[in-house]
């Protein structure tokens, strides 16, 4: 089977091992290395409270270069004060020594419970163990994807290739995220490797745009975490003529990257905590792009809409209620809503429809709800998922 993991692009090694943070004994430390050095770009949570890992990673990524990523799952290293910062720096130092790099060439990410200190003895031993297992094999690529999971029931990976001139370029990504997923930043953890040769500013732009239209459009519970991080490393080993301006080659790369992050976002929606299905909320007719985005998120985050979709209940009034309460401009005489292709509310009036037919639409694995605010010409969208009892079960006893 072809390797489509983060080790597929030229120049990357990976590993994923268990250091004992997860009581289950599952993998909890992931390591990606690019011995030849990679250009690096990242986007991070906009939560005002950020993990020590985010603080350190944002500092290190300023160089625009990196040789490794170390990530742990199980403990978020957030709200951990000065000791947390020291521990985050120690993670980088330990990894840097093992691959003979400077500490600021190591990027880190943590995910898991907030407010607990990292068990640094386990973490250090884990990083050493992971470094010893670094390889370019498909197996270790998969191991990395598994090591970043928390409540995820399956690992999320995506892969794309493009051809630029005579060079074949690979892009591989993996992401974790099942709960505490809210839009407006690089939701959750996402790590992307590619062998494209590209300038740092364009790499950053491509990542920001891709995440903006995919991971940032996904909401599970509207909760923006303290740890969200999306990082891309580009080894430049594909042999393409370097992409140095926003031309057609750049567009090709950017489109492939956007398709990859959208793929990951949809995998996350379908594996969200307790979710059984996902949906896309499209808002048209908005007075501004901001209004469109706000209304789409309001609907996707509305527990009563999420419960109705879970139950296959075509209770569209909740959609309109969500739109009405989120503060966007609305023309009540033009306000309309469709579920799939079925109009349920048109120009401020209810429309007769077959509830069984609409119930069937919303119980599909994926469906689209369209709202027209009647107040302008702008549009935006959001991905969401249903809310089930399982979400409560998972989150009522995550800690103890």
- Contacting its own copies (CB under 8 A), which of 323, 361, 369, 382? 323
Instruction: Provide the minimum distance between the beta carbon of 154 and its own copies in the complex, in angstroms, as a whole number.
Output: 21
Instruction: Provide the minimum distance between the beta carbon of 305 and its own copies in the complex, in angstroms, as a whole number.
Output: 9
Selecting among 187, 194, 261, 370, the annotated active-site residue is 187
Q: Which two tokens stand for residue 344?
A: 């349920």
Answer yes or no whether residue 364 interacts with its own copies by CB under 8 A.
Answer: no
Q: Which two tokens stand for residue 262?
A: 């959208």
- Contacting its own copies (CB under 8 A), which of 314, 371, 372, 382? 314
Answer yes or no whether residue 398 interacts with its own copies by CB under 8 A.
Answer: yes
Q: Which two tokens stand for residue 361?
A: 């639409």
- Between CA 142 and CA 148, with CA 147 as vertex, the angle to 5 degrees is 110
Say if CB 200 and CB 159 are below 8 A apart: no
Look up tokens 């995550």; give the residue: 398
Answer yes or no whether residue 396 interacts with its own copies by CB under 8 A.
Answer: yes
Site residue total, its own copies (CB under 8 A): 69
Stretch that binds its own copies, among 141-149, 196-204, 261-269, 322-330 (CB under 8 A): 322-330
Stretch that binds its own copies, among 13-21, 29-37, 148-156, 348-356 (CB under 8 A): 348-356
The 3-class SS string of 105-158 reads HEEEEEEEECCCCCCHHHHHHHHHHHHHCCECCHHHHHHHHHHCCCCCCCCEEE
Between 48 and 365, CB nearer to its own copies? 48
Answer yes or no whether residue 218 interacts with its own copies by CB under 8 A.
Answer: no
Q: Which residues contact 144 (CB under 8 A, 6 or more apart)?
A: 5, 6, 7, 14, 15, 16, 30, 31, 32, 174, 191
Q: How far apart are the first and last CA of the chain?
A: 40
Stretch that binds its own copies, among 149-157, 194-202, 230-238, 386-394 (CB under 8 A): 386-394
Of how many residues is the chain composed?
A: 400
Instruction: Provide the minimum distance between the beta carbon of 85 and its own copies in the complex, in angstroms, as a whole number.
Output: 11
- Contacting its own copies (CB under 8 A), which of 303, 364, 366, 377? 303
Answer yes or no whether residue 242 interacts with its own copies by CB under 8 A.
Answer: no
Between 28 and 195, CB nearer to its own copies? 28
Q: Is the dihedral of CA 98, 103, 105, 109 positive or negative?
A: positive
Q: Which two tokens stand for residue 327?
A: 């503060």
Catalytic-residue membership of 46: no
Say if CB 233 and CB 66 are below 8 A apart: yes
Q: How large is the angle between the packed helices 200-212 and 248-270, nearest 10 degrees?
A: 40
Answer yes or no whether residue 378 interacts with its own copies by CB under 8 A.
Answer: no
Q: Which two tokens stand for residue 206?
A: 């491509």
Say if CB 193 and CB 205 are below 8 A apart: no
Distance (Å, whole) CA 106 – CA 122: 19
Binding mask 127-166 for its own copies (x = CB under 8 A): ----------------------------------------
Between 259 and 321, CB nearer to its own copies? 321
Answer yes or no whether residue 173 interacts with its own copies by CB under 8 A.
Answer: no
- Contacting its own copies (CB under 8 A), which of 35, 64, 79, 282? 79
Say if CB 50 and CB 84 are below 8 A apart: no
Scan residues 326-345 and list those touching its own copies (CB under 8 A).
Answer: 327, 330, 332, 335, 344-345
- Contacting its own copies (CB under 8 A), which of 149, 299, 308, 339? 308
Which are the catalytic amino acids? 187
Binding site for its own copies (CB under 8 A): 46-50, 76, 78-82, 113-117, 179-180, 182, 221-226, 302-304, 307-308, 310-318, 320-325, 327, 330, 332, 335, 344-345, 348-350, 355, 359, 387-389, 391-400
């Amino acid at each position: 089977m072809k390797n489509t993991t983060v080790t597929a692009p030229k120049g990357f090694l990976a590993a994923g091992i268990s250091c004992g943070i997860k009581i289950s004994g599952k993998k909890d430390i992931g390591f990606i290395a690019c011995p030849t050095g990679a250009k690096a770009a990242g986007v991070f949570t906009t939560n005002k409270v950020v993990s020590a890992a985010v603080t350190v990673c944002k500092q290190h990524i300023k160089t625009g270069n990196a040789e490794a990523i170390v990530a742990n799952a199980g403990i978020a290293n957030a709200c951990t004060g000065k000791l947390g910062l020291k521990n985050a720096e120690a993670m980088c130092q330990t990894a840097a020594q093992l691959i003979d790099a400077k500490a600021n060439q190591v990027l880190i990410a943590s995910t898991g419970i907030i407010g607990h200190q990292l068990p640094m003895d386990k973490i250090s031993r884990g990083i050493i163990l992971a470094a010893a297992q670094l390889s370019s094999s498909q197996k270790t690529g998969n191991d990395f994807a598994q090591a970043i999971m928390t409540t995820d029931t399956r690992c999320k990976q995506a892969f794309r290739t493009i051809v630029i001139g005579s060079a074949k370029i690979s892009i591989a990504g993996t992401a974790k995220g099942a709960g505490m997923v809210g839009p407006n930043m690089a939701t959750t953890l996402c790590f992307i490797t590619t062998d494209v040769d590209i300038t740092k500013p364009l790499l950053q732009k491509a990542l920001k745009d891709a995440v903006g239209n995919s991971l940032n459009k996904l909401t599970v519970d509207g909760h923006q975490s303290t740890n969200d991080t999306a990082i891309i490393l580009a080894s430049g080993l594909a042999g393409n003529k370097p992409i140095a301006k926003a031309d057609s080659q750049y567009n090709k790369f950017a489109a492939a990257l956007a398709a990859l992050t959208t793929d990951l976002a949809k995998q996350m929606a379908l594996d969200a905590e307790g979710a059984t299905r996902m949906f896309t909320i499209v808002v048209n007719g908005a007075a501004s792009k901001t209004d469109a985005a706000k209304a789409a998120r309001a609907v996707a985050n509305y527990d009563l809409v999420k419960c109705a979709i879970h139950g296959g209940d075509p209770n569209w009034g909740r959609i309109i209620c969500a739109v009405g309460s989120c503060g966007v401009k609305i023309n009540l005489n033009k306000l309309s809503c469709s579920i799939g292709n079925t109009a349920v509310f048109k120009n401020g009036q209810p429309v007769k429809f077959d509830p069984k037919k609409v119930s069937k639409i919303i119980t599909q694995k994926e469906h689209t709800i369209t709202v027209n605010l009647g107040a302008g010409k702008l549009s935006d969208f959001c991905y969401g998922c249903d809310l089930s009892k399982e979400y409560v079960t998972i989150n009522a006893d995550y800690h103890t």
